[in-house]
Amino acid sequence: MNSSTSTEATQAARSGATETLLQLYLNQRRESPDRARYLCLADALAAGIEEGGLVPGESLPTHRELAEVLGVTVGTVSRGYARAVQRGHIVGVTGRGTFVASPRRDVDMYGEAGKLHDLGFIAPFEYLNPDLNEAVRELSMYANLNELASYQQPRGLLRHREAGALWAGRYGLAVAPDDVLVCAGAQHALLTVLSSLFNPGDRIAAEQLTYPLLKELARRLRLNLAPIRMDQSGMLPDALEAACRAGTIRGLYLMPTCQNPTLAQIPEYRRRELVAICRRYDIRIIEDDVYALSLEHGLTPLSALAPERSCFIASTSEALSGGLRVAYLCAPEDWHAELERTISHTISMVPPLMAELAGMWIRNGAADRVLIAKRQEAARRNTLARTILDGFPLETRTTGFFCWLKLPEPWTAAAFAEAARLQGIVVADSGLFSLGSVPEEGVRLALGGSPPREDLADALRKLAGLLHGQKLS
């Protein structure tokens, strides 16, 4: 398609969108004549997307073009578009125009299939996972698999909890098997803690950018999340204290060693300050340090500093296998009964065969060998990312499974994510992680989704092109 034909197609598309928006805007004005005109425009955009009249990727008219058609000022259109951007309905792509946004998928859920480069979903080097066929053969040689076919106690068999205690030790947390409950992955462990220890209306403190599933679970359980300011070293103790003074905080959620999405790492002294605040205000701590094992570190878990008020989630999925769905929940004895009831009521028990596999890999050294291999591959990919995105503010860790790209002006995270999608690349933008207003325009880039490093390099080069303002074909 030559440039003349392309321009004509764009103009035709805008003409269709303009006509659709005119009718929808007039409908909004008739239904709500006293409503501000810019809000009527934002609502018209929402209605057009919901009804299918405006489709993802569709080009929208310029501010001036639409203002002339609607009979309003350019400023009114600008405010209406800005409100629609806040709602996630449209995005402005620098140098290209304004477009209907693609629906946001749940980040950290299963990635998109097809030809897209998926840098949004973290699937850490699954091709390096232990061989499942070999594992099943080994299991059948030493274990009575029939024993695993019957119902077990919700907290898990003793040997599975012993394996959990060993695995928690990899995170630097010394616990007894009696203080471990076996859950069906870190997500189930988090659901178990939130639904067992908190009531609707309780406030849970979390960093301004936090794990998206926490947001979804809080919404479903009717818990209130209190955003706490953070810096490059994670949550600020003074900000947490201020939030406690402003209203009762019941819980604190943290990924202190490798925060998702920014990779912030809370230093030892700050961990002790946060623990002191939690003791002072009687706050329960949820420590979900799922990516801590991707890094070499000697930091003390908050749960070791305050074991009487902490739940620690030790996941195996990132190190061993996404399909394994086994995590170990370490908690004080006083909370065991309620946590176990929730496990019983939600899944009855973790499939014992999965827990047996996890325990075998932890005991025979396979887990450690795989984790070393994944760190080595992660190191190569981090070097690749730093090389290709050199000159841009990229946060990485030597062996991290993802990186955090801070966006230069005038990019917004939503606009950059949409521009990347138009290049066939999925990224996770900061709006997906934010509690309220977005404190930082950035995107998280998963490094381990696809085996070929060449695919990652191709995607990163396209992102670099966007940042440099190149028009990529």
Residue 1: the pLDDT is 41
User: With contact defined as beta carbons under 8 Å apart, do 205 and 228 qualify?
Assistant: yes
Architecture (CATH level 2) of domain 117-122+368-467? Alpha-Beta Complex (3.90)
Q: Dump pLDDT digits (tens) for 399-409.
A: 999 999 999 98
User: Are domains 3-100 and 117-122+368-467 of this chain identical in fold?
Assistant: no
Q: What is the pLDDT of residues 218-237, one digit of tens each?
A: 999 999 999 999 999 999 99
pLDDT at 12 over 80: no
pLDDT at 115 over 90: no
Closest CA to 449 of 215, 220, 72, 112: 112
pLDDT at 324: 87
Percentage of the chain beyond pLDDT 70 is 91
108 three-state secondary structure = coil
Tell me how far apart the alpha carbons of residues 119 and 266 are, in angstroms, rounded to a whole number.
25
pLDDT digits (tens, 9 = 90+) for 287-307: 999 999 999 989 999 999 999
pLDDT at 9: 43
Token readout for 327 is 């995590």
- The pLDDT of residue 2 is 46
172 CB-side CA count, 13 A: 18
Q: Which fold has domain 3-100?
A: Arc Repressor Mutant, subunit A (1.10.10)
First to last CA, the chain: 12
Cβ-based burial of 306 (10 A; exposed 0-12, middle 13-18, buried ≥19): buried
DSSP 33: T
Into which CATH architecture does domain 144-364 fall?
3-Layer(aba) Sandwich (3.40)
339-382 tens-digit pLDDT:
999 999 999 999 999 999 999 999 999 999 999 999 999 999 99
Asked if 413 and 306 count as a contact pair (C-beta separation under 8 A), the reply is: no
The Cα–Cα gap between 256 and 265 comes to: 6
Band of residue 470 on the pLDDT scale cut at 50, 70, 90: low
Model confidence at 92, pLDDT cuts 50, 70, 90, reads: confident
Q: Summarize pLDDT for 159-209 with one digit per residue, the tens.
A: 999 999 999 999 999 999 999 999 999 999 999 999 999 999 999 999 999
Average pLDDT of the chain to the nearest whole number? 89
| DSSP-derived pairing of the beta strands 310-315 and 284-287 | parallel
Confidence bin at 81 (pLDDT 50/70/90): confident
DSSP code of 293? G
**pLDDT for the residue 7:** 43
Give the residue extent of every domain in the chain: 3-100, 117-122+368-467, 144-364
pLDDT by residue (tens digit) across 118-147? 899 898 898 899 998 898 888 888 767 888
Sheet with 97-100, side-by-side order of all strands? 59-60, 97-100, 90-93
